């Protein structure tokens, strides 16, 4: 499933061709949404907002399209009516005079009056968006220490969209590694310094992944690996997907395990309980 950085990058591409443009034609692959075709056609797109893994397309007609890619949804931005070759089902198509924004495979699509969008069941239960520019590390630290999350293993907290919307499996492994925190730890058992380190790292890694298209290691280090001929897939992470490979910090073999029914990757040296990684 794409995580917050991937959804925001998709939104940027869509917004680049739709914002302030008139919708000449709109198509829904879900028949229940067809009554909204008429009120949306002829309206202008105001903005594309992301809330974690959900995307909100706001129109000047007072309507908002809510969409969630789920596991298989994917957006394409193309020249008007130049449909990509795919066996996927087209679920939503927004056409301007020059471009088309196409959502394939996703089925979680609804249309709301913008003034009532906050009533959506998913939006009501999620926490702050991980890429919200106004989200401060102190807010993250406070949430880590709150009653709702302090007593739970961080492996669980960092998949819970009620904690921070947009976090996901690869971000979980990477954030906890860079912060030097073992996934089994609970934030109530961490020191003040560890909480601060983890909160700052949470924002830094998420923002880095957004700006570098899914790369979570520092840009300078990534460029060195690329010059050495290492592919994007093998160079982008510290630990995620690197089971059995040497840790980029200490050379210990990265371990893969399962937490909350999802794979997770750790370094037994860098993430000892009580240790803080200086990466």
pLDDT, position 2: 79
Q: 204 exposed, middle or buried (CB, 10 Å; 0-12, 13-18, 19+)?
A: middle
Q: Is 27's pLDDT higher than 80? A: yes
User: What's the pLDDT band for 277 if we cut at 50, 70, 90?
Assistant: very low
pLDDT, position 71: 80
| In CATH, 4-125 is 3.40.50.920 | no
Lowest mean pLDDT among 75-79, 82-86, 198-202: 82-86
Distance of CA 194 to the CA centre of its chain: 24
Active site residues: 2-3, 53, 262
How much is the mean pLDDT over the chain?
Answer: 94
Which residues are CB-neighbours of 56 under 8 A, at least 6 positions away?
A: 48, 49, 50, 64, 65, 66, 117
User: What's the pLDDT band for 243 if we cut at 50, 70, 90?
Assistant: very high
pLDDT, position 28: 96
Residue 145 DSSP SS3:
coil
Q: Is 120's pLDDT higher than 80? A: yes
d(CA 278, CA 197): 10
Average pLDDT over residues 33-58: 96
pLDDT, position 254: 98
Q: What pTM did the predictor assign?
A: 0.92
Q: Six-digit token pair at 248?
A: 């980029």
| CATH class of residue range 137-266 | mainly alpha
User: What's the pLDDT band for 102 if we cut at 50, 70, 90?
Assistant: very high
What residue segments make up the domains of the chain, in order of their start?
A: 4-125, 137-266
Cα atoms in the 13 Å half-sphere on the side-chain side of 239? 34
Q: Is 278's pLDDT higher than 50? A: no
What are the backbone angles phi and psi of residue 96, rounded to the nearest 5°? -105, -170
DSSP-derived pairing of the beta strands 90-95 and 99-104: antiparallel
Average pLDDT over residues 111-137: 96
């Amino acid at each position: 499933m794409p995580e917050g950085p991937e959804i925001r990058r998709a939104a940027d591409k869509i917004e680049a061709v739709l914002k302030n443009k008139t919708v000449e034609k709109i198509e829904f692959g879900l028949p229940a949404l067809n009554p909204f075709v008429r009120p949306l056609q002829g309206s202008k797109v105001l903005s594309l907002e992301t809330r974690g893994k959900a995307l909100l397309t706001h129109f000047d007609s007072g309507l908002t399209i809510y969409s969630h890619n789920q596991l298989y949804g994917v957006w394409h931005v193309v020249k008007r009516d130049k449909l990509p070759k795919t066996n996927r089902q087209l679920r939503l198509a927004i056409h301007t005079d020059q471009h088309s924004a196409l959502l394939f495979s996703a089925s979680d699509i609804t249309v709301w009056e913008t003034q009532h969008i906050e009533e959506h069941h998913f939006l009501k239960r999620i926490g702050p968006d991980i890429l919200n520019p106004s989200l401060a590390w102190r807010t993250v630290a406070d949430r880590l220490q709150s009653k709702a999350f302090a007593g739970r293993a961080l492996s669980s907290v960092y998949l819970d969209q009620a904690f921070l919307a947009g976090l996901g499996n690869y971000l979980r492994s990477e954030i906890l590694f860079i912060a030097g925190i073992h996934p089994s730890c609970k934030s109530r058992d961490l020191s003040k310094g560890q909480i601060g380190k983890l909160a700052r790292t949470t924002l830094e890694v998420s923002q880095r992944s957004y700006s570098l298209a899914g790369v979570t290691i520092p840009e300078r280090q990534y460029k060195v690996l690329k010059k050495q001929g290492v592919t994007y897939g093998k160079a982008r992470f510290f630990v995620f997907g690197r089971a059995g490979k040497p840790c980029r910090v200490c050379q210990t073999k990265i371990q893969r395990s399962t937490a909350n029914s999802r794979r997770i990757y750790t370094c037994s040296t860098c993430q000892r309980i009580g240790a803080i990684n200086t990466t």
